[in-house]
Every structure is written in C-alpha cells, then in structure tokens.
C-alpha cells in the first residue's frame, strides 16, 4: 500500500504533467542519460546532473536550446540566468550581499508580518486559510520589496510573473514574437516602478547595487524582471506542497514541538521535503563541445534536460528520520537549487520565506487540511487550493476528501 504522501505528490505531479511526468519517469528507467528525439539528452542521475551543472564551459545556459535563449528576448542579455563567464561571476558577487541568510530572514520577517497577521487570526478563530492564496501574496510581497515596487500588491506581482511562466512548457525551446511582446506588456507596469527605484538608487537596495555595479537602466530592469519570474514561483508552489507532505507524513505535531524547543530539526525537514517535491522539475543546458554523459555520446549543440525531480528521487522516498534530523540528509548540497556557478543566488531568500511562513503557520496551530485540489497543466506542479485549519486531524483523509482530484496516468 502506498504511503499517503506518495499518493498526493503523484497526483500533484500528474495534474501538472499528465503525459510528461510518466514519460520522463519511463525515460529514467532506461538509463541515467538518454537521448530522446525532439527533447534532447535527458539526465536522471544526480551525479551526472552535478557533472553537467559544474561544467559551465562544457554545458552552458546561453545559446540555442538553453534556458538563456528562452528568456533573453524578454529580459535582455544580462540577467544572470542567461550569462556565463567573468561578467556572470562579477554580477553575482555584486548581488551576493543581498542574499545572506541573516539579511533574507530580516527582510522576510519584516515584510511578511502584516501578510501573516490576518491568516494567524483566522486560524486562531477556528477558520480555514487557503495556503495557496497566502503564499502567492507572500512571494509577491517579498520580491516587490526587493525590487523597490513595494507599493504594488503582492498578489498582483505574483500574478504577472505567473502569466509569463504559463507560456512555457517542458518542450518549449523559444518564445514566439507574439509571446515575447505579450510578456513585455505584462511586465511593463512593474518595470516602470523598478525603473523609479533604479533612479532613486537607495543605498543597500537591489536596484541601487545594480546601478553601482555599472548596469545601465535597461540591463538593471531586465535583471529585475528575471528576479520577478524566478523569485515568486518557487516559494508559492513549494510551501503548500511542503505543508501537505508534512501533514500526510504525520510530522506536523513533532515539528511544532521542535519549533517550541528551538527548531533544531526545522531546516532538515524543509530540505527533505524540497528534495521530494523538487520545485523546479527540469533544468536546461546547451552542450558547447562533444563529450559523454555516462554511456551516451554528447554532440556540440545538444540540448541537455536535467530531470531534477528524477535525480532527487534517486535517494528514495520521503524519509521521516531525515526530516527530523535523526540521520544525515539525503542531499545536503540541495540539487533542487542547482550546483556550481549557477547555483540559485536567491536560495537563501526562498528558504527564509519558507521558514517564516511555515513557522508562523505551525505555531498558529495549523494542522488539518480541510480541502485540497491540484493545479492542472502548469509548468511547476502545485496545488490550486489547499485549505488548512488549526486542530489535530483525526486520521488520514477519507476517500471523500479526495473527490476534488481524481487524476490517473494516461
């Protein structure tokens, strides 16, 4: 019998990718690196994945078939996710100070307090809170503060980023001219506000750092737009799935007790959950030279698709002992954030948001899932709705509780 957390995670994955999810799983069973016509070389082994990610000269983020080529027409050529080499290193170094654990925690604690207050009061009064709506607003609020567009509602910031991400599928190689124009139009209002922040160039702000680093206004706005796209989806899709995984694994009471005692296991619980859900299901690279990935020959120009979810799943199912810090983490290097020079610069910020949100919810007594529904046909698997309430659940959800989502593999 499948464990409850496995059932729901599979349903969430299948709702998002009813064809691609079982297809990639089948490809992974054929080998650690498999050439798939029309897709590229699919890498499903964590060590081969790290080999690709660490070799930034052999496997690049710029050029045809890479993630950089996908976003450059919308964001411009200097937005980290499409850069390589020395200029990429210098720009990361200029921004690194904004993303220390201490600064990220201070930022998230400060700006999320008013966002969380209403949810905590509602839980305390016996009501339910939709964790999907809450985290969408929270993620948009944090990135809005970072980019200097704090006057824009957090939900609107998130919604604009989501509208652009929806244009992309697992097989998308480039956006059409019409899609590029639409994406730029969606970003226009936020770009104006970020441009004003650039002009003000407050000391210590992200836009101020970009100006001090020598980026002109257009380059800085492109980078701001890139952070909007990458800095909201991860948190907004991760938090509901982490809560659901902890709930279905029966860990919420133990984690609340851990928090009350100082939170020694909390980071381990987040890491283990993120390994299992893997917020970014795939990463793209372009082979810059011939070589090999395992037994598979690589040709210059090949598109390499790192199936991150399959790589992380290689360590096994969700491990309660690892989540409670009772044994070593299965992937302490956090492959779901990448590796090497392109390791996600915003990882400390994303983790700080997740910590602040989950700590507040657990300490407010959130322990029951009232209703949930997976989101269908989206790039990043997630819930469309996840209503939570305070009070201890009586046991595993009854079959009727699953009526909103009956997904089967094709």
Q: What is the pLDDT of residues 20-58, one digit of tens each?
A: 999 999 999 999 999 999 899 999 999 999 999 999 899
Q: Mean pLDDT in the chain? A: 85
Contact between 231 and 346 under an 8 Å Cβ cutoff? The reply is yes
The pLDDT tens digits of the residues spanning 161-217 come to: 777 777 776 667 777 888 888 888 877 777 777 888 888 876 667 788 788 877 788
User: CA 277, CA 55: separation in Å to the nearest integer?
Assistant: 25
DSSP codes of every residue in 319-345: -HHHHTTSS--S-TT-GGG--GGGS-T
DSSP tag of 98: G
Do the Cβ atoms of 193 and 157 come closer than 8 Å? no
Two tokens at 135? 């985290």
pLDDT at position 409 is 28
Q: 58-67, 102-111, 197-206 — which one is most confidently predicted on average?
A: 102-111
Residue 5 token pair: 């957390």
Which tokens belong to 393? 């659940």
C-alpha span between 264 and 253 (Å, rounded): 15
Strands (E), 44-130: 59-60, 128-130
65 pLDDT tier (thresholds 50, 70, 90): low
Distance CA 355, CA 347 (A): 12
List, in order, residues 6 or more apart from 392 with CB less than 8 Å away.
253, 367, 368
Q: At 51, which helix (H) or strand (E)?
A: helix 46-54
List, in order, residues 6 or more apart from 316 with CB less than 8 Å away. 330
Q: What is the pLDDT of residues 365-407, one digit of tens each?
A: 999 999 999 999 888 899 999 999 998 644 444 333 333 333 3
Q: Cα(83)–Cα(279) distance, rounded to whole angstroms?
A: 22
| DSSP structural state of residue 398 | P
Does residue 81 register a pLDDT over 80? no
| Paired tokens of 6 | 């496995």
Query: Which whole-number Å values give the CA distances from 108 to 60, 112, 353, 355, 363, in the listed order?
Result: 32, 6, 6, 9, 17
Say whether pLDDT at 156 is over 90.
Answer: no
> What pLDDT does 152 receive?
58
- Which residue, among 91, 88, 95, has the nearest Cα to 57 in the 3D structure? 88
**Tens of pLDDT, residues 304-323:** 999 999 999 999 999 999 99
> Among 302, 299, 301, 327, which residue's Cα sits nearest to residue 315?
327
């Amino acid at each position: 019998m499948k464990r409850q957390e496995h059932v729901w995670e599979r349903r969430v994955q299948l709702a998002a990718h009813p064809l691609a999810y079982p297809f990639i799983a089948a490809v992974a069973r054929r080998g650690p690196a498999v050439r798939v016509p029309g897709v590229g070389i699919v890498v499903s082994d964590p060590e081969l994945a790290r080999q690709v990610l660490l070799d930034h000269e052999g496997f690049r983020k710029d050029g045809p078939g890479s993630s950089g080529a996908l976003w450059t027409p919308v964001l411009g050529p200097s937005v980290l996710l499409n850069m390589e080499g020395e200029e990429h290193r210098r720009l990361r170094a200029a921004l690194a100070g904004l993303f220390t654990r201490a600064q990220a925690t201070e930022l998230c604690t400060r700006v999320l307090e008013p966002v969380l207050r209403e949810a905590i009061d509602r839980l305390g009064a016996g009501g339910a809170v939709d964790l999907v709506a809450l985290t969408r607003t929270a993620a948009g609020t944090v990135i809005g503060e970072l980019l200097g567009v704090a006057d824009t509602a957090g939900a609107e910031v998130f919604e604009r980023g989501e509208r652009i991400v929806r244009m992309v599928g697992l097989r998308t190689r480039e956006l059409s001219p019409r899609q590029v124009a639409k994406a730029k139009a969606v970003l226009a209002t936020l770009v104006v506000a970020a441009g004003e922040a650039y002009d003000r160039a407050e000391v210590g702000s992200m836009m101020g750092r970009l100006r001090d680093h020598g980026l002109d206004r257009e380059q800085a706005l492109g980078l701001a737009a890139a952070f909007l796209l990458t800095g909201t989806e991860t948190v907004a899709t991760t938090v509901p799935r982490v809560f659901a995984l902890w709930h279905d694994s029966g860990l919420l009471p133990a984690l609340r007790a851990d928090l009350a005692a100082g939170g020694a296991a909390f980071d381990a619980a987040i890491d283990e959950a993120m390994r299992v859900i893997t917020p970014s299901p795939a990463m793209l690279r372009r082979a810059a030279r011939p070589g090999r990935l395992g037994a598979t020959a690589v040709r210059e120009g090949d598109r390499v698709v790192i199936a991150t979810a399959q790589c992380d799943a290689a360590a096994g199912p969700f491990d309660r002992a690892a989540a409670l810090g009772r044994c070593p983490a299965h992937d302490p290097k956090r492959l779901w954030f990448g590796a090497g020079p392109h390791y996600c610069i915003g990882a400390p910020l994303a983790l700080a948001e997740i910590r602040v949100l989950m700590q507040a919810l657990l300490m407010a007594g959130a322990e029951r899932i009232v209703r949930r529904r997976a989101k269908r046909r989206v790039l990043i698997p997630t819930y469309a709705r996840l209503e939570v309430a305070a009070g201890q659940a009586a046991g595993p959800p009854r079959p009727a509780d699953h009526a909103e989502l009956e997904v089967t593999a094709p």
